[in-house]
Amino acid sequence: MIKLSDHFTYKRIIRFTLPSIIMLIFTSVYGIVDGFFVSNFVGKEEFTAVNFIMPFLMILGGVGFMFGTGGSALIAKTLGEGNEKKANSVFSLIVYISIITGVLLTLLGNLLILPFTKFLGAAGVLLENCILYGRIILAGVPFCILQFEFQALFITAEKPKLGLYSSIAAGVTNIVLDALFIAVFGMGLIGAATATVLSQVVGGIFPLVYFGRKNSSLLKLGRTGFDGASILKTVTNGSSELMTNISMSVVSMLYNVQLLAYAGEDGVAAYGVLMYVSLIFNSIFIGYSVGSAPVISYNFGAKNSAEFKSLLKKSFVIIGVCSVAMLFACQLLARPLSLLFVGYDQSLLSLTERAFFFYSFVFLFAGIAIFGSSFFTALNNGLISAVISFLRTLVFQIGAVLLFPLIWQIDGIWLSLVAAEIMAVAVTLIFLAANKKKYDY
């Protein structure tokens, strides 16, 4: 078993983070599987509705990333300082608070979904489909939050493989139920949403059962007292991940609005396919960042400077190699992936293939900014992490998507995604250089 206190070679850090990467990929399967079955077995209008409402739903689920990454950094640092009792108390408190938060967000989401979807411009059949799908998905928000946060907490507990198995079980549940409910029983959007919720229940309940019983990990659910300082630290430290999720969702809504204006519902559908591929590819970057963060936090807390520097260097090499590989993979897979989702419509297929050509360059830059934000979260510097995420996922993308289409029309929308990532890399490198002496890396 690999421990946080071990020396990490390239082989060991890849082995340690691989379960997290696969875990994130399987979590991403939810929306992708729904999209595939809805697009091919229900219809283009329903497929557009799923993509249109998904950003709103992802904002709520993103709270899980906040608790998971923020709490994981604090817990790992506390373990590195040798205070296991406090680490377990903080762990338990975070889990209990997140469950309460999930229930409240479900109630809030049901109140806001109709006016919010109307505000974004949905009407008629598109509006009806969005509300139908969205209200069912909202029932799974508490479980979705638990699943997202335990992706990070399993790693901190030195049990990344259990986290992987949990995500695989949830992903397989979603695939099987989607096929059954949509392709066999013809339940349409109701079947897609129900399959997703049930899979989230699997992914959220399993970790509760494991950590709630006697286990061999570093962490156990138990009695705890309210610790406002730890909750505040968790929330502020994980705010960058929440900000990333909120910003990406808000920007996705804006992209949908722009695409409706420049290309109609076909534009929204094409963007949806790009986002599915983005979920999978970025899951590699995010999974590595989430998986390596507890190791970075532990060595930071233990003041192991040599290992700390080694981890940072190795991380940039790994991310650089993955970035180049993803660029070429996206170019090669553009047509087969487009055919998989929208091969039934020639004009939509052509639009999607062209979008892929431009969008593939995003992966050349995205990994650096994603890791940079996670790196500062691991150092318990939530402010810098949040600034990187805020600029990358909100400010730069909004500015680009409003400006570029005025010059290059629909192509400008795809190019704006690339431009935003390039600017985010520049900001990340500036922060890394400015804080080199402070953190001694």
DSSP string, 180-201: IIIIIT--HHHHHHHHHHHHHH
Q: Is residue 184 part of a domain?
A: yes
Does a structural domain hold residue 107? yes
To the question of pTM greater than 0.85 for the whole model, the response is no
pLDDT values of the chain reduced to their tens digit, one per residue, 441 residues: 777 778 889 999 999 898 888 877 877 776 677 778 988 898 888 888 887 888 788 888 778 878 887 888 889 888 888 888 998 999 999 999 999 999 999 999 999 999 988 987 888 998 999 999 999 999 999 999 998 889 888 888 888 788 888 888 988 899 999 999 999 999 999 999 999 999 999 999 999 999 999 888 888 998 898 888 899 988 887 776 677 777 777 788 888 888 888 888 788 888 888 888 888 888 899 889 988 988 898 888 888 888 888 999 999 999 999 999 999 999 998 899 888 888 778 888 899 999 999 999 999 999 999 999 989 988 888 789 888 988 887 889 899 999 999 999 999 999 998 999 999 999 999 999 999 888 887
In sign, the C-alpha dihedral spanning 297, 238, 141, 192 is: negative
Query: For 81-89, which contacts have Cβ atoms below 8 Å and span 24 or more sequence positions?
Result: 81/301, 81/302, 84/218, 87/218, 87/219, 88/219, 88/220, 88/222, 89/222, 89/224, 89/225, 89/227
Amino acid present at 238:
G
Q: Which helix (H) or strand (E) holds 85?
A: helix 84-119
- Asked if the structure places residue 49 within a domain, the reply is yes
How many distinct structural domains can be found in the chain?
1
C-alpha count within 13 angstroms, C-beta hemisphere, residue 29: 23
129: containing domain: 10-439
Assigned domain for 3 exists: no
Contacts of 378 (CB under 8 A, 6+ apart): 73, 76, 292, 293, 294, 296, 297, 300
Is the residue at 53 inside a domain?
yes
Q: Is residue 194 part of a domain?
A: yes
- Give the closest residue to 159 by CA, choosing from 212, 199, 219: 219
For residue 5, tell me if it sits in a domain: no
The pLDDT of residue 31 is 60
- Is 70 a member of any domain? yes
